[in-house]
Structure 1
Amino acid sequence: MIIQKAERCADVMWSEPVEIRLGYGQPEKISGPLQALNCLAQRWPDTGGEEYLKAKTLCMAALGERIPCAGVRDAFVAAAAEADMLVPAN
């Protein structure tokens, strides 16, 4: 029997980064759950939104290996859209 350990969520990089803009700054790419959580926890302008809370909770759960990493990107995209920070894809 072969046992494969799943990749740690902290090491996961999304195949398509999420591009956001904080304030009037340059767009920046968020490439994975760890970077997303850091952004949500330390740099997010509005921390009261429903999607923000969901994304932060899912990021923490995934990084704590309590849930799979799948779906965390979608939650982060929803939070960025809610905060009007999502840069449209070209």
Structure 2
Amino acid sequence: MHLTKEQPMVTGNWEKLVVVALPGFARREVTGPFEALALLSEGWPTMAGAPFIKAKISCRAALEDRITPEQARRDFEKAAREASRFLS
């Protein structure tokens, strides 16, 4: 039997937070890929489209230390723009 070492999850914050507007919140400050992935998975208004899917994949990859958190932030911003939720 071959055992594999499980990849640790990294919860690094972004250098610049992303501010979005979501139903029930006047504005929401998203500080990193962990929080972004939670929003994309549980309360995102449009759970379809290429930017949404790419953002989910990127946030998970950042948490698994396969890409930088900043790469995930850029993809999350694109998903927020597509959903008309991006504020800053």
Q: Is residue 20–residue 30 contact of structure 2 (8 Å, CA) maintained in 1? A: yes
Secondary structure of 2:69's aligned partner: coil
RMSD of aligned alpha carbons: 1.5
Give the match for residue 15 of structure 1.
15
How far off its partner does 1:24 sit? 5.4
How far off its partner does 1:73 sit? 0.5
Q: Is residue 9–residue 33 contact of structure 1 (8 Å, CA) maintained in 2? A: no
How far off its partner does 1:69 sit? 2.7
Give the match for residue 39 of structure 1.
39
| Distance (whole Å) between structure 2 residues aligned to residue 23 and residue 49 of structure 1 | 19
Could you tell me the TM-score, scaled by structure 1's length? 0.79
Could you tell me the TM-score, scaled by structure 2's length? 0.81
What fraction of aligned residue pairs are identical, expressed as a percent? 32
How far off its partner does 1:66 sit? 2.7
Aligned residues: 80
Q: Which runs of 4+ in 1 moved over 6 A?
A: none
Letter aligned with residue 10 of structure 2 = C
Secondary structure of 2:22's aligned partner: coil
| Distance (whole Å) between structure 2 residues aligned to residue 47 and residue 72 of structure 1 | 17
**Residue segments in structure 2 that go unaligned for 5+ positions in a row:** 1-8
**Residue segments in structure 1 that go unaligned for 5+ positions in a row:** 1-7
Secondary structure of 1:19's aligned partner: strand
